[in-house]
Structures are given as structure tokens and as C-alpha cells.
Structure 1
Amino acid sequence: MNDRISDPGPATEDDGACADAGERALAQDALRESEARFRSALKAGRMGSWETDYQTMTRRWTAEGMELFGIALPDGRGQVGGPNDEYAAALHPDDRYLARRYHEIADEQDSFAAEYRIVRPDGTQLWLSGRGLVVERAVDGRALRLVSIMADATERKQAEERLRIEHERLELALSAGRMGAYDMNIKDGVLWWSAQTYDLFGVSREEFVPTPGSVTELLHPDDRETFSRLRAEAIAHRRPFRHEFRIVRPDGTEAWLAHRGQAEYDAEGRPIRSFGVTMDITERKRAEDLLRDADRKKDRFIAMLAHELRNPLAPIRNAVAVLRHPRSTGKTADWCHDVIDRQVTQMARLLDDLLDASRLSRGQLHLRIQPLSLATAIEQAIEIAQPLIDAGGHSFNVTLPAQALRMEGDAIRLAQVFSNLLINAAKYTPPKGSIALSVERDGDEAVVRVTDSGIGIEARHMEHIFEMFGQVESTLNRAQGGQGIGLALAKGLLELHGGTISASSQGPGQGSEFLVRLPMALPEETLAVPDVRPEGGSAQGATYRILVADDLKDSADSLAHALQALGHVVQVAYDGAQAIELASATRPDVALLDLGMPKFDGYEVCRRIRATDWGRGVVVIAQTGWGQAQDRLRTREAGFDHHVVKPVDLDALIALLGQPHPVRRHDG
């Protein structure tokens, strides 16, 4: 069978029209689909677009553009320029100048980036970011039509702002902490430093390129090998590295830095990155050195203090042993008494110096300023130091001016200053040496020189001798070595008087000279030498009923025997409860109360005595090892009349027995 193919015949005009319509329909479908995709992309990207026509001064908005700006126009058409320009009105006040600026840019470029803020009608603020595209220009090149496509960049800008703030905080923290950050690519050795790190190392960002090698050159030569080794070990063992090392800056100054860092590793465990911080610890290191030095001085001071306290105990114990011997004569007993009194006085003076140094360091030492003659203080100082000078067999020469040098000061404290200088000279001068004290006037100042032929002072120790516990090495092997208190105390007391002290020496074995300068009183001021005797005079001519309360039995009994030897009637209690009982039974004229007794302390015993009718007239005296200002205030508040510090000076104690109340004397 044969197939037949029919002839379609010639094409007609209707056939061509149908083809064109079909192509237009397909094109329109494609355009609608493209526009739909474009709008979907705009919506998904939180974007909007609009077209600006500078010929008609109108703006045509897409729905997405209006949604982005939060505006609604009936036909999507707006106005360019004038009071009804919806676009310009939406711009943030600080960014409105950009509308004119972008128009100028459009005249020069076909495409450009844009970024600015808008304020929507509901008050919310958005950041927009996108581009402008010129689609039509005039013959002279001016932009006629401009299409803008912008996206909501608020989240990105907020993230950038947060990052900026965090970066500023980090910069502030690094600067405040004197720290610098670093980050290094271990594989290629590329090293990044923060600005603070350059400052720490004292190098310029413009002139110094940080590399592992160049940084090592800045380390102190003695620390380079240790730093590299410890850092490599920390990275190899996957642990953070913490090192402290010295650097030498280009200007020659040294500093201590602390390095804190760690490494990152790839999947095979190889280190690929190292990062961390470096901080300046120079001040801390200096403080640690000072603390170590202070600790060494403290240990040395404690050792010397123990030595100084043991020294008087030996002759005291020997004197007691001699007194116990059955063949001891009266002359021998007198000698023993002198030894014991002299050594106890030395111990008491040492403890007084310790307390005064403590008060001085806290600003709690106060002077009793009165008009005085400097010779008075000098004479008291010589009286204190003379036994030690005589014991060393030293020659002692004193030169005083013919005319009295008058000033205002605390005679007792000035005597303490000069006695410390004389005692210091006696201790550090070999036997049969020479000591001299001279006084002269220099203008409005009195100048006192104390010189000796002693062991001298090395130049390297000169600046430390007036520091607390500031003994120098050359004196430590001497049996008569001091505690490093006397000179520091003398300096502090002189400064309270407005004076100064300095030292000089030609070196070891060449002796020393101490120079004191004190302001003098004006010539027209009258001199009134103070009466330094205890107020109220002596009570040695009267006898009293006395209660002694102390839980240290030897202390209580020895004081009781001393008072009984003077004719007083004494009762002894060894705790607070017994003291209250005896006081109630005997109604004493005077109560000497230790503060730290068991059962009831001295404060409570005093309060209970004062609470009775008969107890209001009792002279109550606190005897204690505590002599600080706050200790005296506390006893006064508890009702004590007086506060004496152990070891108690018996003569001073007797002078207090008649104060401040008229007490009943015992007639038999």
C-alpha cells in the first residue's frame, strides 16, 4: 500500500498572525515568570526597588520597595523633590545629604554602591545597602532615569556595631591592662601584633616587622633559650603556655613581660596557629623584689631581736644565781641588783623603741612640744648612753656652745634621738675607740654632730641605713649589732620636729659621722624649761592598801614583794574572779590589774569595781604589754585611771599611786 502525503498548500496571512501571537504570548509568560522570580528574590532578600525619573521628577515604586520603606502609594508613584518627596522624608536626618550626593554620582557613573539609614513611619530605623543603576542619560551625560535596588542591612550593621563595640572594649581592656595581643600562623611564620604589643616592646609599627626571629632578638639574652624551649614544649604537649621573661627595648630599658597563649592543631594534630596575650608585669616584679627584700630584712631583724633579748637574760640569770649562793655578801647583792636593773632597763628601752617605731609608721606618735634648751636633751641622752660607752672603754668628748640653744620640741624624744646615735656609735666602735658629740649654731639651725672611730659604712649601704630594719652587711657579725630600728626611729622623730639627719663615712674602718639639723626658736622667744617629773609628785611617803592581779604568778608576786618592801599592804590575785572577790573583801586604795587574766579580764574587773560605791574612789591602774594609742583609749573607756606598760618602772608606778583621786591611807 502506498502512503500519500497531502499538500498543505501555500501559507496565508492568518497563519503568520497566529505565529506572532503565540510568540508574544510565550514572551509575556516568560516576562511574567521572570518578574515573579525577581519579586520573589526581592522579598526573600528583604529588598526593594524603585525607579527615579529626573525628567518628570517622579518616582515609581515596586510593592517590595514600598514595603521596605513602610509607605503606601495608590498607584506606586511618588514625587522627586519638593515637600512631598516620600523618599527624602524617609531618610535619617543625618543621611539626607546623601540624596543629593547620589544624584551627583549618577551623573558620573552608570553603577554605584549606596548605604544609608531610613526611619519608617512607625519609628523603626533600618539600614539599607545596595546599588543604583543609570538606565537613561541625556545628550550631555546627565542621568535621566535611575533604578535603585536596596536591601535591609540592619542586622549586618547591628552585628558590625556590636563587633566595633567589642573591639573598642578589647582595645580599652588591653590598654588599661598594659597588655598586647598576638596571632601567628605557625606554618609560614606570619605574626600579627596588636597596637599595644608594639608599645609593650617599645618598637614602631612602621619600622619593626614582627617575626619569630625579630621578636627573639628583643628578649633578654639570658631568657631567649628558656622562652623558646618552654614554648615549644607547651605546644608539643598541647597545653597552654605561660612564661615570664625580660625584654630589652631598643632604647636600652629592661622590662618584665608575662606571656599567655595556646595553639590550634589540624586534623593530624599538627600545630597550625598560635595566639594569646602579653602583659607588662614590671611593676609587679619590682613589688615582689621589694617584698622579698622586706622579708629578708624581717627575718634578719627577728634573728637580731632574739639575740638582743637573749643578751640581757644571761647576766640577769647569772646575777640571780649569785644572789642564791649562801655566801653572797651585801656588796655582792648590790652588784647583782645593779646588773639586773641595768639589763632590764636595756630590754625595756628596746621594747619601747619597737613600740615607737610601730606608732611612727602608722602616724600615731605625737610629740609634747614645749620650749626647751637643746643642752637638756643632750644631757639626758648622754646619761642614757654613758654606761655602754664606758663598757667599751671609749674616749668620749662633748662640745657644747657657751650660749644655750633654744627651740621648741619634745625633750624626751630628742633625748631618745641622740641617745640612739651615741649607743649606735658605741656598739659599732671597737674597744677603746673614740666618740665625740658637738653642738653648734648655723644660722637659724642647731647642728649636732656625732662622730666615731668605728667600723664605718660602705657607700653602697649609705642610702639604706635610715630604713626600718635597714642593717648593713658589715655590721651583722658584731655581737653588739643593732636591730635596724634606732636610726629609722631617730630620722622619723627628727622629721616630726622639722629637722633632718644625714650620715657620712670614708668607708669600712674609717668611722662615721651623723649630722643632725634642728630649727631653733626665734631670739625673742623666752625659754621655759619644762618640768619632766611625773605629775602629782611622789607617793613614797604614804602607804596604801594595794591589790595586785596578774595571772602570771612570778610577775604578780615580784611586784607585790617590791611594794611590800616600801611599806604598802598588798593582796595578790591570779585571775579575774579572785581579784573581784579580794577587792570586795579588802576594799583597796589602789588596784593594779593585768588585762589578760582568765575567768574575768582586767576590763571586766575594773567595771565591777567602779560599779560599787566604795570602788569609785579606787585608783585603778592597767598593767599590760600593750601600749598602743587604741589600747590606752580602751582602758580609759573601761574606767582605768592610768595605763602602764610592762615591765613596769617601780618609781613611776609609785608616783601614780596618789592620782587622780584622794585615796584612804592605811594607818596600821
Structure 2
Amino acid sequence: MSKLSSSAVLRPETEALITGSLFQRPRRAPDYEAETRSLHALAHSLAMGDGQVLQTLADTALLLCDAESSGISLLENNGEGSQRFRWVSAAGYVAPSRGNTTPFEDSPCGVTLKLGGAQLFSFPQRYFACLEGPVPEVVEGLVVPILGEVRPWGTIWVMSYDAHALFDAEHARVLTSLASFVGAALVIEASKTAANARADEANAARLALEQAEIRKDDSIAMISHELRNRMAPISSAIQVAQRLSTGNAPVLSALRIAERQLAQLNRIVSDLLDASRIRYNKISLELHEVVLQEIVEDAIAAVKTDIEVRGHTLRTMFPVGSLAISADPIRLTQVLTNVLSNAIKYTPDGGVIEVTLRNVSAAMNEATVEAGLVIRITDNGVGIPTEALPCVFEMFAQAKGGVGRSDGGLGIGLAVVQHIVALHGGNVDVRSAGAGCGTEVIIRLPAAAARTSTD
């Protein structure tokens, strides 16, 4: 085994190219059956995505072109501002050279991409220094470009070491067909790589968002606990100050304002804590048999002062007889207080708020209405824009406009309401004809949990 001398290198493009011979030689008969079998195997390899499709293509080129060496060379940057070819697959005599690189300039692959189309080279090792190597000497090399939409990907090639086994136009046709398959495989692989990269980015973003949500919830819970711890002594101080200020109307009036604001702050803190509990499914119910009218009255009593301060008119409509229900009285009172507080807050001074209870299972001619208890709380306040209605139950969601920022709250209440009602097996519906048209909140509790008592 000897190495060809570099002194034998001549002008490659003028001396090595014999492409015209492809169409002057007798053309072998096509073997479509072998091509079909090979293409089926290639399609299977591509579908399996095992990463070996390019090597399978090189093996197929070796077989279909009756060659003794074959390979695929893809373009890459060499890190110095120019390009080179990397032998990403190789078969036959050159199989051990897989992974080698050759320059773009002064190489059969580079010449082929410059000229376009299939090119045939005679004794290429004599004309291209990059191909110098041990014998057997390459007698012919057939090179076909692998074209892409924007730029060529590289080349696919076959080599013969036998002067009696030369390439013809049929070999060029087969290799060109395989080059198209290589191009399709590379497009699929590039798309898959890009999709995987986007999926990885999306997954990383999702994980980062989840971590941010966890940190946010933890911070909210910590701040809420800190606020609640500090509100207890403030409440006690207000009560002491009220006792010490008996008969001093201006001071008592100021203390009542402070007391109302503290109660509002307490509700906000409770909602914040519940928002954290909802995320981790830590809200539980302590069910007792209670009278629904009493729960509604407790909720009204909790917001009575706010109703009076705003000058609202409250109207109630309860059915005859008590409505007994199995529920968590504290949580259900919280639900109604939250909804009533929204009605008070989002209704201009002097508005009207109505609270209606109905036992739909006892109503007549309402076969299309789901049986159970229905609580309706309506107001003639600022209403909700139509586009905001689908978002009213989202955590921290608020419609823009319609209420001063100081009255706007945190957008937590209805999310908490929906969750607690769902734990009772019920559902909540919020309706509004639009901005300035008031709001109606409908709370339904399942019939199985309710019954009417006349005791």
C-alpha cells in the first residue's frame, strides 16, 4: 500500500472531469425492483427516526450503483470563515474515513456544487490533494449535489476502483434519486431538531413559570399571615379606643371608619390565603345541617355597615319555610359576603341590591331548570364588559375601568367563590348585559343537599 505523491496533482476541473462520458457509454438496464425495495427500507429507517438514515442511504448508494465506496458529505463552517465538507456517512473501502473533512475548494464535492448536476471524475486522487490516500486508487468518482430550498446541503457520491466497472447515465439517475431522498431526510431532521429545541424551550419556560407561581404563592401566603398577625392587635386597639371614647362622636366616627377598613383588609387577607390554599387543594369543608336563610342573614349582617355607608337599598326575597342544607356555614357565609361586597363596591352610592332565594325543586313548570337551591344577588351597578365575562373567575382578573383603583380589590374573590361552591357540589354563574348594566350572580346548590323544612 503506497501513498500518491502530491507532486502529481494537476488542475482538477480541466483534467479530472469526464462527465460527458456518462451519456456516451452504454446504459445499463434499470433495476426498478431493487430500487423499490431499497426505497421502502429507506422510508422505514426515516420513519423509525433511529438516526442511521444517512448511513443507510450511503449503503444503498453502494448497492444500487455497484460501487466499491460511497458516502455523503455535508457542508459545515470550519470556524475560520469558510466552508468544508464532513463525511457524515461512508461505506465500502472508505468506511473507516467516516467523520473526516475535506475543503470546499479543490475537492470533487466543491466542484460539483459549483457546476451543478451530477459530475464524473476520472482518477480524482491524482488531481485533488485532499483525496490523497492509499491504493487501491480510485478509478472513477460520481458526485451528485444534495439540493436544499435555500442552499445545497452537500453531496452524495460513489467510487469505483475497477477500470471495468465504470459509471453511466443510469448510475447518475439512481444517485440523483437518492440525493433527493437525502435532501428530504435532512429537511425532516432539521425540522425535528428545531421542534425539539422549541419544545425544550417551552418546557423550560413552563417549569420557570411554575416555579415563579410557587414562589409567588409562597410569598402571598407569608405576607398574608404576617398581615393577619398584625391585624389582631389593631382590632383590639380599636375596640379599646372605642370604649375610651364614649360620648366623643367625632372620634367614634373615625374609629368606625378604621373598623370598616380593617374588616375589608381582613377579607382581602382571607382571600389571599384562600388563593394559596386553592392552588394546593387545601381548602376543606366542615359540613353541618344549617338553614340557608340564616347563612344569608349572617352575610348581610357582615356587610350591613358598608351598605349603609354607601346609601344602598337592600331587598331580600326568601321563600316561606326554612331551607335546610348540608354545608360548611363559615365557608358559605364567606361566599355570600364576598359576592355582596362586590355588589356594594361596584354599585354607585344609592344603588339597589337584591338577594333572592328559591327552591327550584319545589317550583312549578320549571322542568328545564336544574333542581336545587338558587341564590341570586343582583345590583344596578357598573356591570361587567362583555369581553371580560369569560375571565371573571380567573385568579387576579379584573375588568378595566368602571371602578376606582382604591375600590378595585385584587380580583381574587370570585375565584375563591367558585372553588368553595364547587366543593359544595354547586356552580356559580355571573351575568351582565355590559358596562353600566348591573351584575347578577347566580349560585346553585344541588338538590340532593337541600330540603325544605316548615318547622
- What is the TM-score of this pair, normalised by structure 1? 0.34
Identify the structure with bigger relative contact order (alpha carbons < 8 Å, sequence gap 6+): 2
More helix by share: 2
Larger gyration radius, structure 1 or structure 2: 1
- What is the TM-score of this pair, normalised by structure 2? 0.48
